[in-house]
Structure 1
Amino acid sequence: MTSLTDRYVAATLRTVPAARREEIAAELRGSIEDMIDGRAAGGEDTTAAEREVLTELGDPAQLAARYADRRLQLIGPTYYLAWWRLLKLLLSFVPALVGVVAGLVQATDGDNVGGAVGAGIGAAIQTAVQIAFWVTLVFAVLERTNTKLDLPAWTVDQLPQDRPERQITLADAAVSIGWLVIFTAYLPLQHFLSFVPARAGDGHLPILNPALWSFWLPFLMVVLIATVGLEIAKYRVGRWTLPLVVTSAVLDLAFAIPVIFLMQNDRLLSPELVARFDWLSQPDNLDTVATVTIVATIVIVLWHFAESIIKLRRTAA
């Protein structure tokens, strides 16, 4: 077997239950080998025969669905994979891009940063909903009307490159640790050097309440440092495990609960920062900023927890 067959088998096994992967791998490799031997016996070149056999077997995602007895159908089987791949691609960047643009436009149109953040989040959510609706509707119509799209046929050249069976790569770990280190370092740095100048132009105003240095800010820094340790442990293991999921959830809550509590009680932001901006010193606007921060914190924690559970199930399925 060559690396081409190995890549095909790996791509097929990626979405089948873990308990059946060895059985399916042996069966699939045996079938591929028999088909190649049959073609080679007829005088065909082995390398060319392998490519033709894998092309004949088709898209690994479809083959995996047959092995797992899973229907690739929401609107219909014909264009399911094309619909799913296009939807994932668009949702991966378009809502975020629209949200950032909408937030920047709102911020430049007035002096309400809280409103700008809310406008950006709202625009991103609306865009995601619109994309999901219209893309699904278009493919549903194409499916029901039997419209031929003449999409290019799947070929073995589309197989992903060989990669180790890891859920957590070095690049993923490096990015996560990098952001955590930067964020941890900025907690004390923002007290002396923030992006908010004082009214008199003499120095900068701290973003977070200096009174929190008595306990909460050191506590949050400890949580962030512990999270760095978790990222290192995740990389060494290479995949999510139940202890890692539980530890991650505990650390997320240890960070999120104080942030929510302090923001809800108007204790997170520096009083000098609030007084610096007229719009922020107004109770309604400050409540808006608090609400957006709390909702964003909850969404991030839930998203991270759901992602870890999904990856754990893929490992243990």
Structure 2
Amino acid sequence: MTSLTDRYVGATLRSVPAQRRDEIAAELRGSIEDMIEGRTSAGEDADAAERAVLTELGNPAQLAARYSDRRLQLIGPTYYLVWERLLKVLLSSVPATVGVVVGLVKAADGEPGEAVGAGISAAIQTGVQIAFWVTLVFAILERTNTALNLPEWTVDRLPRDHPNRQITLPDTAAAIGWLVLVIAYLPIQHFWSFIPARDGGGSVPLLDPALWSFWLPFLIVVLVANLAVEVVKYRTGRWTWPLVGANALVNSAFAVPVCWLLLTDRLLSPEFVARFEWLSQPDNLDTVANVSVAVTILTVLWIIIDSVVRFRRNPA
């Protein structure tokens, strides 16, 4: 063997387990010799044959990975589709939600000029964190061969829906994920919220605890009904008049009480209002309430109009 083959074998052995190096070296040298012999027997020059064989074998690091059964991709095909789907669902809703919340808190804290920048920065940081941690988890799953126990694909899983399906899985997953977060936050915010107390001792609830006498349980029931509508929408695959009506009903049932509570200064907890000097001023509190009501109404109208337009474009 010449130094060229020795260098190739040496480069390959650097990345394989020490206990297997002798075995792999013998196997690799034998393969190289056989391949060179095949070329020289056909009349090719020995040096040229050796160079061609080593070139054909490829990068020693890649060859070592094959010998070691080591993956050279961060997320392989076994996990890629699940990773991609989860990342799309999370990135489609969570960063924007965090950005809006941070911006509103900044504005309520008497710093409206910094609210937009703080909200955008928080959204970007949240997106980066989600992408990093989700990818890290799936990279670990990839290297530990952890089974996800997902059902195997069969032809029975081919979609039976109309090719112009209107309700997609990512949209439904994002909507359900958002609703679950809101339902969970309603009770949690009374024990822990993102709003620290002025004296640094614990946190301040966003919503008035007195609402648990009726309105908060009612809103949770409405949100659960909204979850049911999202599931039915996905199973149906397209908008129908009953779904348009149900969608309008559950969204209105949530928006009307929220607007009324805002306009009567009953939605926000007194501790939250007192926490921010700017917000505790009556005129500023009225402004926040009026803007919030306008945004809520416009959002609900947009949701209802969008469902009607989608139905009329492609009725069942």
Q: TM-score, structure 2 length as denominator?
A: 0.51
Runs of 4+, deviation exceeding 3 Å = 103-108, 113-120
User: Where does residue 221 of structure 2 map in the other structure?
Assistant: 222
Contact 2:255 2:296 (C-alpha < 8 Å) held by counterparts = yes
Structure 2 SS opposite 1:226: helix
- Where relative contact order (Cα < 8 A, 6+ residues apart) is larger, the structure is 1
**1:105 & 1:186 partners in 2: Cα distance?**
17
- What are the superposed Cα offsets for residues 149-189 of structure 1, whole Å, 9 maximum, x if unpaired? xxxxxxxxxxxxxx932100111111110111011111111
**2:301 & 2:175 partners in 1: Cα distance?**
18
**2:163 & 2:209 partners in 1: Cα distance?**
46
User: Where does residue 284 of structure 2 map in the other structure?
Assistant: 285
The alpha-carbon distance between structure 1 residues 167 and 105, as it changes in their structure 2 partners (threshold 3 A), is closer
Contact 1:114 1:285 (C-alpha < 8 Å) held by counterparts = no
Q: After TM superposition, list the pairs within 5 Å mapping 1:86-165 onto structure 2.
A: 107=106, 111-112=109-110, 164-165=163-164
Q: After TM superposition, list the pairs within 5 Å mapping 1:23-34 onto structure 2.
A: none
Could you tell me how far 1:119 is from its partner in structure 2?
11
- What are the superposed Cα offsets for residues 10-35 of structure 1, whole Å, 9 maximum, x if unpaired? xxxxxxxxxxxxxxxxxxxxxxxxxx
The alpha-carbon distance between structure 1 residues 118 and 296, as it changes in their structure 2 partners (threshold 3 A), is farther
Structure 2 SS opposite 1:192: coil
User: Where does residue 266 of structure 1 map in the other structure?
Assistant: 265
User: Where does residue 193 of structure 2 map in the other structure?
Assistant: 194
User: Where does residue 167 of structure 1 map in the other structure?
Assistant: 166
User: Where does residue 150 of structure 2 map in the other structure?
Assistant: none
Could you tell me how far 1:289 is from its partner in structure 2?
0.7
Structure 1 SS opposite 2:204: coil
Structure 2: where are the runs of 5+ without partners? 1-95, 119-161
Could you tell me how far 1:224 is from its partner in structure 2?
0.5
- How many residues are aligned here? 177
Structure 1 SS opposite 2:174: helix
**2:104 & 2:171 partners in 1: Cα distance?**
32
The alpha-carbon distance between structure 1 residues 166 and 237, as it changes in their structure 2 partners (threshold 3 A), is same
User: Where does residue 183 of structure 2 map in the other structure?
Assistant: 184
Could you tell me how far 1:194 is from its partner in structure 2?
0.5
The alpha-carbon distance between structure 1 residues 114 and 190, as it changes in their structure 2 partners (threshold 3 A), is farther
Q: TM-score, structure 1 length as denominator?
A: 0.51
Contact 1:117 1:292 (C-alpha < 8 Å) held by counterparts = no
**2:117 & 2:298 partners in 1: Cα distance?**
17
Contact 1:114 1:288 (C-alpha < 8 Å) held by counterparts = no
Could you tell me how far 1:111 is from its partner in structure 2?
3.8
Structure 2 SS opposite 1:193: coil
Could you tell me how far 1:283 is from its partner in structure 2?
0.6
Contact 1:262 1:268 (C-alpha < 8 Å) held by counterparts = yes
Percent same amino acid at aligned positions? 56
**2:249 & 2:293 partners in 1: Cα distance?**
18
Structure 1 SS opposite 2:303: helix
Contact 2:110 2:276 (C-alpha < 8 Å) held by counterparts = no
User: Where does residue 151 of structure 1 map in the other structure?
Assistant: none
Structure 2 SS opposite 1:316: coil
Structure 1: where are the runs of 5+ without partners? 1-96, 121-162
**2:227 & 2:212 partners in 1: Cα distance?**
21
Larger Rg: 2
- What are the superposed Cα offsets for residues 283-305 of structure 1, whole Å, 9 maximum, x if unpaired? 11101110111000000011001
User: Where does residue 209 of structure 2 map in the other structure?
Assistant: 210
User: Where does residue 305 of structure 2 map in the other structure?
Assistant: 306
**1:165 & 1:275 partners in 2: Cα distance?**
52
The alpha-carbon distance between structure 1 residues 105 and 210, as it changes in their structure 2 partners (threshold 3 A), is closer
- What are the superposed Cα offsets for residues 102-129 of structure 1, whole Å, 9 maximum, x if unpaired? x969958x94267877999xxxxxxxxx
**2:234 & 2:105 partners in 1: Cα distance?**
40
Which letter maps to 2:110? N
Shifted more, 263-272 versus 110-119: the winner is: 110-119
**2:213 & 2:187 partners in 1: Cα distance?**
13
**1:183 & 1:268 partners in 2: Cα distance?**
15
The alpha-carbon distance between structure 1 residues 253 and 105, as it changes in their structure 2 partners (threshold 3 A), is closer
Contact 2:103 2:116 (C-alpha < 8 Å) held by counterparts = no
User: Where does residue 125 of structure 1 map in the other structure?
Assistant: none
- What are the superposed Cα offsets for residues 207-245 of structure 1, whole Å, 9 maximum, x if unpaired? 000000000001001000110000000000000000000
Which letter maps to 2:222? V
User: Where does residue 153 of structure 1 map in the other structure?
Assistant: none
Query: RMSD across aligned C-alpha pairs, in angstroms?
Result: 3.2
